[in-house]
Structure 1
Amino acid sequence: MRTASLVALWCLVVSVAPLLSACEQFERNAHANGLAAPAGMRREQIVTANFVLTAWSRIGRSNQQIDVYIEGDGLAWLSRSEPSLDPTPREATGLALAVADPAPNVVYLARPCQFTPMALNPRCGVPYWTGRRFAAEVVTSMNEAIDQIAVRAPGQRINLVGYSGGAAIAILIAARRRDVESIRTVAGNLDDEYINRLHGVSRMPDSENPIDVATGVASIPQVHFSGADDEVVPPEVARRFVRAVGGRCSRVQTVPGATHGGDWSHQWPALLAITPGCGGGR
C-alpha cells in the first residue's frame, strides 16, 4: 500500500510524456484493483492460444453457476480518428457490474490487450481494439478463457454478462457453447454494422457481427438492458437484435435516464433481479 501511494505521488509531479503514459497505466490498474478487492475478487492472468487475458475472480462454491462479466471496448479511441495505444479502460464498467453482483461465483474478463502488459501479448496491436475487436481469434481467446474458468465449478452452467462491446463478445461466445444458462447485456453493441452506419464510421469486415448469430442463441434466456438516453448504442439496437432472435426467450429492458457510460453499477443489483426466462419454459 505504501508503494502504491508513493507511485501515485510520483505520478502527480512527473512531466515527461512517456512517464505520464506509465502513470496513466498505473492509475487504470489501481482503479480496477481498488474496485475488485472489497468484493473479494482476485486478479489473475489466463493464458490462451492467442492472448494472455487479465481477469478478476471469486469462486466461492463449486456447486453453483458462474456469472462471467465481459468488459466493453475500453479506451479504444482518443478521438473519432485517433486510436489509443492502450485500450485498458479508465473506468472499467464491466468490472464495476461484476463487483455489484453478490453471487458466490463471479468472474470478470477484460478484453484482449486490456490490463495485461503488452510484453506478454506480442500479437496485440491497434486492430485488436478497433477493426478486429470482434474477430474470430478474439472470440476464440475469450471462449478458451471461459473453458478454463468453467472447470472451477465442474458441470455448472454459465451466466454471461456483457457491457457495450463486451455484449457482442458474449453473444458470439454463447453461440459457440452449450453450457450457457442466460445472457444479459448492458448498453450492448449487438449489431456493429448498424451502429457503425448510424455513426458514419467504417465497417469492420474483419470482425464477426453478433446479430448474424442471433438465431443461434434463440433458446437461451436473455435480457438486453438499454439506456433510454444512450446516444452511443440507442435502444433500437437491442430491439433489432431481439427481432432477429425471434422466439420467446429474448427481450429488451429500457432503463429510464440511463446513458451509455452512466453509473450502471449503481442500478445493477435491481436490474439483476430481472431474471431472463422463456415464456412457457425452455
Structure 2
Amino acid sequence: MSNRYLLPLALLLLSGCQSPMTQLQQLSSQNAHQVSIQPTRTFPLAMSVPSVKPGSARLRIYLEGDGHAWATPSQPSLDPSPQNLLMARLAVTDPQPSLYLARPCQFVSAPACNPQVWTDQRFSQAVLDSLDQALNEVRRQYGNRDFELIGYSGGAALALLLAAQRNDIAVVQTLAGNLSPRQWAQSLDLTPLSGSLEPLDRAERLRHVAQRHFIGFEDRTVPPILYQHYRRTLGPADCMEVIRLPGVDHANGWTEAWAQWRYKPLRCAPQ
C-alpha cells in the first residue's frame, strides 16, 4: 500500500478505537471549546462549552438526539453515546455563542443509568428534569437572558417539552425532529414508549413558542409526515416555520443545510 494512504488509514483506525468521550474532548479542544460535566439531581450531563465565556443575552443550546439507543432492533445498546457527533460538531463550529448538551447517560454514566433511560423512558420526566436543571445552571453561570434550543431527532421532543414549561426559551429549532413520540411510534408500527412524555399534550403552551422545523425529504427514521400530524394537532400557532430539504435523510445533509440556515432568524421570532 502507498505511504500516502497509511496515515489516513491509521487515523481512521485510531478514531474507531477512541471512546465517545475522548472523541468529544478532541472535537471540543480543536474548536475552542471544552467538555464539562454538569451535575443534576439524577444524571450528570456532558456539555461542550466555549473556552472563553460568552457574554451574549441569548445562548444557543444544541440538544443531542437519542444517540446509539439500540444495538439491534430488539437489543438496547449498552452505551447510548452518539456514534456520529453531528450535533456537537454543529455546536462547536457555530460562530454564535453556542453550547452542546448531551442527554442523560451519554458520554458519562451514573447509578441511575439503565437501558430504560435511553429506550422507553428517553422522554421521561426524570430526563426532562435533568435537562431543565442543567439550563438553570447554565443561566446562573453565564447570565444570559434566554435560550434558543436546537434539537436533533429525539432531542427535538425534549426541546419542545422544555419550551412548554420554561419562560426563557425564545426559539426552538429542530433538525429531523421527532415532534410527537406517540405518533412516531404509531407511524412506524413500534411499541409505544412507556414512561415517556408527549409534547402535544402541552399544545396550549407550545402554540406560543416561536419554532422552526427542518425536515429531510429522504428521512425514513423520522418520516416527514410526522410534521403534518404535529402541525394539525397543535392548532393555531403564533410563530412557526417549516423548511423542507430535498436530498437530506436522517443522518446526512445536515451540516451543509444548517450552514445555510443558522444565521437566518425566524421572521416572526422575538430578537
Query: What residue number does 1:71 align with?
Result: 64
Contact preservation (8 Å) 2:35, 2:46? yes
Aligned partner (choices 154, 159, 170) of residue 181 of structure 1:
170
Q: 3-state SS of the aligned residue for 1:43? A: strand
Question: Displacement, 1:176?
Answer: 1.1
Gaps of 5+ in 2: 1-9
Q: Does 1:208 align with 2:201?
A: no
Question: Displacement, 1:31?
Answer: 2.6
Cα distance in 2 between the residues matched to 1:25 and 1:174: 37
Cα distance in 2 between the residues matched to 1:239 and 1:25: 41
Aligned partner (choices 15, 23, 27) of residue 31 of structure 1:
23
Contact preservation (8 Å) 1:65, 1:153? no
Q: 3-state SS of the aligned residue for 2:214? A: strand
Aligned partner (choices 187, 190, 193) of residue 179 of structure 2:
190
Question: Displacement, 1:87?
Answer: 0.2
**What one-letter code is carried by the residue in structure 1 that aligns with 2:20?**
R
Distance 1:25 1:84, change over 3 A: farther
Question: Displacement, 1:24?
Answer: 6.4
Query: What residue number does 2:89 align with?
Result: 96
Gaps of 5+ in 1: 1-8, 14-22
Q: Does 1:140 align with 2:129?
A: yes
Cα-to-partner distance string for 1:74-130 (whole Å, 9 max, x where unaligned) = 000011111101101111222122123211x211111000001x3xx1000000000
Cα distance in 1 between the residues matched to 2:213 and 2:264: 11
Query: What residue number does 1:16 align with?
Result: none
Q: Does 1:46 align with 2:20?
A: no
Contact preservation (8 Å) 1:46, 1:145? yes
Q: Give the root-mean-square deviation of aligned CA atoms.
A: 2.2
Q: 3-state SS of the aligned residue for 1:107? A: strand
Contact preservation (8 Å) 1:43, 1:57? yes
Contact preservation (8 Å) 2:180, 2:226? yes
Scaled by the length of structure 2, what TM-score is found?
0.88
Cα distance in 1 between the residues matched to 2:128 and 2:45: 12
Query: What residue number does 1:227 align with?
Result: 216
**What one-letter code is carried by the residue in structure 2 that aligns with 1:110?**
A
Q: 3-state SS of the aligned residue for 2:84? A: coil
**Identical-pair percentage:** 31
Query: What residue number does 1:266 align with?
Result: 256
Structure 2 counterparts to residues 83-122 of structure 1, below 5 A: 83-103=76-96, 105-116=97-108, 118=109, 121-122=110-111
Question: Displacement, 1:192?
Answer: 0.9
Q: 3-state SS of the aligned residue for 2:21? A: helix
Scaled by the length of structure 1, what TM-score is found?
0.85
Number of residue pairs the alignment of both structures matches: 259
Cα distance in 2 between the residues matched to 1:100 and 1:209: 31
Q: Does 1:247 align with 2:237?
A: yes
Cα distance in 1 between the residues matched to 2:214 and 2:203: 16
Contact preservation (8 Å) 2:57, 2:144? no
Contact preservation (8 Å) 1:221, 1:277? no
Q: Does 1:167 align with 2:159?
A: no
Q: 3-state SS of the aligned residue for 2:42? A: coil
Cα distance in 1 between the residues matched to 2:260 and 2:237: 26
Contact preservation (8 Å) 1:64, 1:153? no
